[in-house]
Chains A and B, each alone.
Chain A
Amino acid sequence: MKIGLFIPCYMDAFYPQTGIATLELLEKLGQEVEYPMDQTCCGQPMANSGCNRDAKETEALFIRNFSKYDVIVSPSGSCVHHIRDNFDAIEQTDEVRHVRKNTYELVEFIHDVLKVREFPWAEFPHKVGLHNSCATLRSLRTASMSELGEPFFSKPKTLLSAVKGISFAAPRRPDECCGFGGTYSVTEEAVSARMGLDKVTDHHDAGAEYIVSADTSCMMHQQGCAERNGVPIRFIHIAEILNGARA
């Protein structure tokens, strides 16, 4: 199984350590991983703004970069949601269908495909607040949502529970959106930032030292809100913890 690694644009530019951790983690799990050098973006910013047509060429490039792989893995729930559920600016050829069907978010790939449950090298002696992005929660369904009253499950928590020393904080509104929402974060910046502040405060009040998530875009926004308002909480991607980061 040859894996194509998709590192979204904002992660490439601002959070390279998350990309590195993802690559190293997959390698540790014995996978053959390649990062196609011509990749840029999945097209979500245009599509979410209604300008789906403007995503056409970006989507075509994505297919050129990734159709040769058996599976595509990305440490970003929202991008994977776009590729799987909304990637329709281009014609739906066999190649496109192959890519859409075989693109996985990192947690679900480890949990469902590799079925790995142990990370003997990982140790994170901190209390963390788990933030499930809305894309992973309500589209990719990697965790149960409070709206449906279904039995509890959480793929990210299952994986993190194997990490030595980790403990979990219980925020009051674990499912509440943090307000990032892509371009929403700038078009409605006041509401967006308020939601972000409420989110980080909720985690901080619950005693979390870190917010951990499978979505860096949510955390980029939350970090901005926490720093501006002096909320002392740190942020880390789940890939980094599973790869063995200690802090």
Chain B
Amino acid sequence: MSNRPVPHAKLAAEFLEDEPHRHFHDERLWDMRQKRDEQMHIMPEWQELREQASRLKEHTLAHLPQYLEQFEENARRNGIHVHWARDGAEHNRIVEKILKDHGHSSIIKSKSMITDECEMREYLEPKGVSVTETDLGERIQQLDNQLPSHVVVPAVQKLTTDVAKTFAKYYNTDPNIDDPHALAEAQRNAARPVLLSGDTGMTGGNFLVAETGSFVVCTNEGNADLSANLPNLHIATLGIERLVPRMADLGVFIRLLSRSALGSPITQYTTHFRRPKKGGEMHVILVDNGRSERLGMDDFWTSLKCIRCGACMNTCPVYRRSGGQSYGSVYSGPIGAIIDPTFNARKFSTLPFASTMNGSCTNVCPVKIDIHEQLYKWRRVLAERHEIPFVKREIMKMAGRLLAQPTMYRLAISGTEVALKTMPRFVLYNYLNPWGKHRELPHPVKETFHSWYKKNRLNRTKAQHEETQA
């Protein structure tokens, strides 16, 4: 993984240059936010549900080892093979080993963020294992060799015309036919034979239930159920934070998940996997990959409450205008900006700054993660670790000194000439210059408030005072 900071501002600016993409992306996601609002309005208990969901997750995270062991014990009793992966590399080796033991070499896979996080395809494909994504959006991203743009709608940054071109290249369809139904049909036709011939099915999962040793997969396309049930071998990968203690707790999250994500009351499919089918084999891989470490971070551990609904992305005015690819990460948008730096602080050092700190994300989050507060805290952490640009650091140091000295400060703003003399040229021309690229500067005024006050209040009072004395 390259360590260079993701140039979010630059990538976002490029995304904005194309009018149709920019416009569609913003409106499409805003529409999802509005549909979410409609669902919220018809549920008077919405805020209570959020509070419950948040508490349940915090409780579970505070007792994570105990619940994980309970899950493992119950899952084993159900006949599920349970594996533990410390990181992505270990996860990938476990998958490789399971495949080798069965003499398998092709995986049909439903969408799962965590296998992308583990970079599983990149590991398995060079070893001769074919991995086929069966979720439409994820498949588009796979064909284009791109990371998912969004946790729920992975190809949302693309127009149907883009998809038509991609499918033409791989499925031999007409590049000029961009009718969504025709495109979906093309994907179905391409996916069905693969689904029928694949020897291993892989899914992610939304929830692990400790008391039953089962796991739950919420999807809309039905591809996860096909992927899981057609082959005799089912491998499911889930992060260790996906846990809920009891089946009864699940309802709280199921009610919130799809309403927050797409504004639909529930996903088309909510599948409970409890034991392998007759003659089949089921494996669950529980992945840590930095989660335990994050659980120990006072300021950031609550980001583990995330149920991956994407509501923060849909509402984020910056994400809507930057596109998911500009985050350079599996997890984009506000939630990505607070969890990505836990994976690589340098590479993702720009992301906590890709925010206006407007706080909309925090208030739509169904599990009440204080996302924008964490963005603010990450900025501090990154500045202290010197993971912010040198120029910015120097400017802030200078600004801090100048603003602490009233006399110097007055001198500095009293005229451009003085300002130009006090500030080095690189400050004025490299850093502040971007203001004027798409905006006018504020208009100059005759006098500052400071000097007006001196003339109209201080001197007047002084004159009155002298008058009374005389």
Instruction: Tell me whether A and B are bound partners.
Output: yes
- Beta-carbon contacts under 8 Å, B358-381 to A: 358-360, 362-364, 376, 378-381
Q: Is the CB of A12 within 8 A of B448?
A: yes
User: What CA separation (Å) do A196 and B401 show in the bound complex?
Assistant: 31
Q: Is the CB of A193 within 8 A of B321?
A: no
Q: Is the CB of B315 within 8 A of A147?
A: yes
Contacts of B376 in A (CB 8 A): 48, 86
> Could you say which of A35, A43, A53, A149 contacts B453, with CB atoms under 8 Å apart?
A35
Contacts of A38 in B (CB 8 A): 406
Knowing A16-B452, A186-B434, A191-B321, say if A55 contacts B400 (CB, 8 Å). yes
Q: Is the CB of A54 within 8 A of B400?
A: yes
| Per-residue contact bits, chain A 31-52, to B (CB 8 Å; 1 contact, 0 not) | 0000101111101011011111
Interface with B: A96-104, A158-166, A175-183, which one?
A175-183
Q: Is the CB of B363 within 8 A of A220?
A: no
By beta carbon, the residue of chain A nearest B456 is: A20
| Per-residue contact bits, chain B 332-359, to A (CB 8 Å; 1 contact, 0 not) | 0000000000000000000011111111
Q: Is the CB of A40 within 8 A of B358?
A: no
| Per-residue contact bits, chain B 386-422, to A (CB 8 Å; 1 contact, 0 not) | 0010001100110111011110010001000000000
Q: Is the CB of A149 within 8 A of B322?
A: no
Tell me if B37 counts as interface (CB < 8 A to partner A): yes
Q: Is the CB of B317 within 8 A of A196?
A: no
> Could you say which of A16, A49, A56, A220 contacts B449, with CB atoms under 8 Å apart?
A16
Contacts of A227 in B (CB 8 A): 439-440
Contacts of B443 in A (CB 8 A): 14
Interface size on B, residues (CB 8 A): 74
Interface with A: B39-47, B137-145, B162-170, B267-275, which one?
B39-47
Interface with B: A116-124, A138-146, A238-246, which one?
A138-146
Contacts of A185 in B (CB 8 A): 435
Q: Is the CB of B360 within 8 A of A177?
A: yes
By beta carbon, the residue of chain A nearest B38 is: A149
Return B34 CB to nearest CB of chain A, in Å.
9
Contacts of A180 in B (CB 8 A): 356
Contacts of B438 in A (CB 8 A): 189-190, 193-194, 197, 225, 228
For this complex, 9 residue pairs linking A to B, each with C-beta atoms less than 8 Å apart, are A9-B413, A12-B448, A16-B445, A50-B379, A149-B41, A173-B30, A179-B318, A186-B434, A224-B435
A-to-B contact residues, CB < 8 Å: 7, 9-16, 19-20, 23, 35, 37-41, 43, 45-46, 48-58, 60-61, 86, 134, 138-139, 145-149, 173, 175-177, 179-198, 220-221, 223-225, 227-228
